Amino acid sequence: MNSSSSAVVGVSGGSDAHRVFVYGSLLADDVVRVLLNRVPQSSSGILDGYHRFSIKGRVYPAILPVQNKQVTGKVLFGITDLELDILDTFEDVEYERTTVDVSLMDGSHKLRAHTYVWGNQNDPNLFGEWDFEV
């Protein structure tokens, strides 16, 4: 696929391989390794139309749809059905797994991926912008 293509590639790359856009604690390879017993191939990506908030009293962020905002993160490739179940459990009931279009940082194309969106759009504990480095 060339860089001028605007095609969107599907969520799964095979019968049991998924892509997941991560933007918080799962950016750390050590966290992913503990959960999945491996570090999957990944690529930097941008999720348009979302904002990454800090959550009062928590070390991890939440994302919600916000016009004209974007979230940087990375796409994990080759996630199995079992690993997706593990990530669902890790993200807990406060997040909803959603399918989104992610642009790869290399500009090659957009692809469909799962991500975890904060379930409570009116949560008073959300504020500012979360930074992985902090």
Cβ atoms of 115 and 21 within 8 Å: the answer is: yes
User: Tens digit of pLDDT for each residue in 52-105?
Assistant: 999 999 999 999 999 999 999 999 999 999 999 999 999 989 999 999 999 998
Q: Supply the DSSP string of 66-100, one letter for each residue.
A: EEEEEEEEEEEEEE-HHHHHHHHHHH-TTEEEEEE
- Is 129 catalytic? The answer is no
Domain that includes residue 75, residue range: 8-122
Percent of the chain's residues with pLDDT above 70: 87
57 lies in a domain?
Answer: yes
Q: Is the pLDDT of residue 10 over 90?
A: no
- Say which of 83, 91, 94, 133 is annotated catalytic: 91
Kindly report the CATH number assigned to the domain that includes residue 104.
3.10.490.10
Range 8-37 average pLDDT: 83
Domains: count for the chain = 1
